[in-house]
Amino acid sequence: MRQRRLKDLDEKLKELEDYLDTDGRENKGAWRRLFADKAINASWEITRMLYEGVITEEEIAASFEEPDSRLCLEIGCGKGQFLCSRAADFPDDLFIGVEGQESVIVRAAEKVRDSGHWNIHLLSGYIHDVHEFFEDGEVDMIYLNFSDPWPKAKHAKRRLTHRSYLAAYMDILADGGRIEFKTDNEDLFDFTLEEVEAMGYNIVQMTRDLASSDLESARYRTEYEDKFIDQGIKIKYLAIEK
């Protein structure tokens, strides 16, 4: 759904620039260093340790290369509810949220600011080619939550689960990385299953009623997801691993 343009949108984007970028291409291959810088700015203790020479910036950046620190990407993050709930429960993970609608990304940035989660960073804009923003193997998790179904057959290649997109996601995923996909749209879910199977990818979890399952992903909802469940609409979900 197209959102109404917010009043003073440009001013709001400027005020929230610590929480979002309008172009993240310069961070390609260096996203973990960006989060190291955010951690330094967010922590008086880390700042003190730097000042006293107890630790160096290089050592801080290296700490974000540890296996427990996953780099997670949500394409189409909406107003940020999903990311904030994940960041609260997984403080060692690093979260990047991408949203094309500026009026929506402002709401997400406000939510991130108010939550105090330094481990979330947002990108304002549409990513058409993930290779421009991420090195091969740089990302550990990709979330596709309630993507535009593009229902007309002639628009199938625009769907974010089309095989061309899936192949690109696999390029930037680390070995053992995962793609998680949610939708309320039955046709898009069936299409996605066909694309995943055609590419020979490994489906590790799948359900056509996520809210009634005991899967971890059922606990982390988007704003849209809450509305759909309240309306009695079943959420379809699958996860594939590299």
The residue segments making up the domain with residue 241 are 141-155+171-242
136 catalytic residue (yes or no): no
In a domain, 150, yes or no: yes
99 assigned to some structural domain: no
The strands making up 20-21's β-sheet, listed across from edge to edge, are: 20-21, 120-124, 94-99, 71-75, 139-145, 173-183, 236-241, 202-207
d(CA 162, CA 71): 23
> pLDDT tens for residues 98-127?
999 998 999 999 999 999 898 999 999 999
Position 224 in a domain: yes
* Window from 24-33, 53-62, 109-118 with minimum mean pLDDT: 53-62
Residue 188 lies in a domain: yes
Are residues 79 and 104 in contact, defined by beta-carbon separation less than 8 angstroms? Answer: yes
Structural domain contains residue 211: yes
Inside any domain, residue 202: yes
Catalytic residue among 114, 136, 140, 148: 148
**Is residue 145 one of the residues assigned to a domain?**
yes
- Section 134-161 average pLDDT: 97
Domain assignment of residue 218, yes or no: yes
Any idea what the CATH number is for the domain that residue 175 is in?
A: 3.40.50.150
Distance, CA of 229 to CA of 40 (rounded, Å):
39
Q: Report how many domains make up the chain.
A: 1
Strands (E), 78-151: 94-99, 120-124, 139-145
